[in-house]
Structure 1
């Protein structure tokens, strides 16, 4: 069960509790918003947790822990959930069944580059107008924010006080819908770029402008070589290299006569957790207008993959391909899918060879 599926499962449990009279009907309206399920933090219990009971306590007219106990009884026997526990003032904690990683990988590979996107048949109906000053970083950030919002089912319009410079459009892929200053829902105003990013080319320039948080000053003028370096000190290189390695593993496995088959992969809990957290990161980056959150997440996924999974995917020496190798290959392909989809939302290419 993926975090998105677990979120929907919790919402169904809330509705059933209301239908059976255990919770007040007002809870339904409060629970209609997306229920956030997150990976358990350090010191937490289980694989995932949600604070939905604290969110629903007021409309339910009950203490949060009592709401959590009501929901836990309805969630303990759900497929894919091995155990539900209530901790603290009313947090619901979930330990997933052993096949959780295989289920997640299957979901990622099925969705492809759209993993973490809003469901195509469930648009939000929300309309957002973004506006940016005539400044290169603001326009690149606005472009990426628009991509993120559209991926979450939001209808987005963009505007700028004047036409972007031709080279910004040609090199960096910046496009705006309107010129002028229409009433906007959000002004995109990150700290301006301290130097011209165009010498870096599209991919490195966009990364240099998007990877730092909006309130941080990007390093460009004194760091051209750093952003173009093909080495581990360059986070964009690490992300793109990890993606290219996942594709190379698929080609090498085909040469060895085996293909991917999702299944349980031992020892990769952190990597699986990062992949499962991807939809939440996309939602947060869109809602907070913060593509830097996605950029940092991709670096974390890439680093985790290269450090632990990458060396163990292919058989070594005279070793024959096994179910474990096929499961690890499927997990590697899921990593590649997440990295490619995330880079695309940042407006950056994900090459298969690097």
Structure 2
């Protein structure tokens, strides 16, 4: 019995108790949950449903708890139900009901932990969204890891997720980039406010090699050509770096298309229909202060030039018209001011800013080696590139380390720590447990010990076996909570706790017979099921983070 199945049983028992007393069944929640008590002596799981419902239905919570407990004790797999305090239910499962979870996990395979919690959600998840004027760098990398993990977790919770990268390819920065590439091709100094770094020279060489005769074109044609070809080369490099990192975007959305396709004008028309557009001093404004923004925003300047804010509004409306019910923006630490203005755009468009749009802000990440800050990149000048990070630590260490901490706080990674093969390195700690489990399974096969098609779940009664089973049972709830709260780090921390529970199980319970004359028993077979179920959950959890689960290390 999983925690989710037990929660369903608790809700059914509560419904029966209320119905029997002819009380208001509409007071029942659509769903409920059970929790593991801090003190194991209080039972396997606890529920406060009687406390939640007592006053609503006009019944003393402890009396309601007694009625729910009576019904719940008739549920197969439940050994006992005790009432504690003002109406808490402490539930103990039958030994077989706990042990059956290993079989359930292995039968579910890669589907274990997945749910339909967000089955009706169509989500646009935008992250990274780097300017195509330089390589993907450390400032983008945290959101690349966290954003991709969040996309996987939302999908595991049943959502229809589209991962989108917004290409900031309109504006003066693109002209400066094109001029910088052209200058590098002519071995000239970087223009004022241009882009330095060896990568610009690399782009220039690639453009010249792919376009013979470009240096002989008139200057105006050269500028256009270096801009368009340099842009393509830089965008391709960005895409290749992110794919190497295991981050794939379903949509690369060009800002230029908003302007070229009339999306900005269309957005202005839609906003006018809602009554929040006004003109003042020759400019066109959006009255975002109606919805909590600190000031109204200019859409079109008095000289007729459209602002970045106009593009932001057009982009949001474009997303909604593509059918996305929820638009999640994952922005960098310097974008706090965007929260109010983006939510105001949603409100001005007639949407619910509490539902249709979310803005997540990620804090900065810094890199150390041997406790000292890593020097700046030779190639990118003032930046550390994603490729350089991957060369130093690898994909798994980078992704896990970037995703295992809450994005609310700045993050410092020490290359020496996240690459060493010791238990104080979290990614190694989790991956090593997965590899150890695979090794045990191989040893069992080599010795002719078969897991077989069935096992006696009631044999899994050791304290450490039960602790491990309960930890495995928590996985679906962790995934659902990580999806709901947009916090992938919960999956990483869960895996570390699970690895600890497995170590304690392994140290106290022999999965295979000891060397000598000990025979392979049904207890060993049951432990093999539990062993392999743990491996499956580790595989599933690491996959949600975009991290591999090697079978040997």
Fold match, TM over 0.5? yes
CA distance in 2, matches of 1:31, 1:204: 42
Q: Are the aligned partners of 1:84 and 1:95 in contact in 2 as well (CA < 8 Å)? A: yes
Give the one of 243, 247, 250 matched to 1:174. Answer: 247
Instruction: Tell me if 1:112 matches 2:185.
Output: no
Q: Are the aligned partners of 1:211 and 1:292 in contact in 2 as well (CA < 8 Å)? A: yes
Instruction: Tell me if 1:204 matches 2:388.
Output: no
CA distance in 2, matches of 1:31, 1:284: 18
Instruction: Tell me if 1:267 matches 2:467.
Output: no
Instruction: Tell me if 1:218 matches 2:416.
Output: no
Match of 1:192 in 2: 364
Deviation at 1:210, TM superposition (A): 0.5
Structure 1 residue ranges without an equivalent (≥5): none
Deviation at 1:44, TM superposition (A): 6.0
CA distance in 1, matches of 2:545, 2:55: 39
Q: Are the aligned partners of 1:139 and 1:174 in contact in 2 as well (CA < 8 Å)? A: yes
Match of 1:229 in 2: 420
Paired residue secondary structure (2:437): helix
Q: Are the aligned partners of 1:130 and 1:188 in contact in 2 as well (CA < 8 Å)? A: no
Residues 335/70 of structure 1: CA separation in 2 closer, same or farther (3 Å cut): same
> Which stretch shifts more, 102-111 or 174-183?
174-183
Deviation at 1:176, TM superposition (A): 3.2
Match of 1:73 in 2: 70
Match of 1:323 in 2: 522
Deviation at 1:194, TM superposition (A): 2.0
Paired residue secondary structure (1:142): helix
TM-score scaled by length of structure 1: 0.90
CA distance in 2, matches of 1:262, 1:198: 46
Residues 243/22 of structure 1: CA separation in 2 closer, same or farther (3 Å cut): farther
CA distance in 2, matches of 1:31, 1:290: 25
Match of 1:125 in 2: 120
User: Aligned-residue CA RMSD in angstroms?
Assistant: 2.3
Count of residue pairs brought into register by the alignment: 347
Deviations 1:82-120 (A, max 9, x none): 11112223222101112133211111111112212115x
CA distance in 1, matches of 2:437, 2:482: 25
Residues 277/127 of structure 1: CA separation in 2 closer, same or farther (3 Å cut): same
Residues 177/90 of structure 1: CA separation in 2 closer, same or farther (3 Å cut): farther
Greater C-alpha radius of gyration: 2
Q: Are the aligned partners of 1:116 and 1:282 in contact in 2 as well (CA < 8 Å)? A: yes
Instruction: Tell me if 1:341 matches 2:336.
Output: no
Instruction: Tell me if 1:83 matches 2:279.
Output: no
CA distance in 2, matches of 1:214, 1:233: 21
Paired residue secondary structure (1:219): strand
CA distance in 2, matches of 1:54, 1:293: 28
Deviation at 1:60, TM superposition (A): 2.5
Give the one of 132, 153, 162 matched to 2:167. Answer: 162
CA distance in 2, matches of 1:79, 1:11: 15
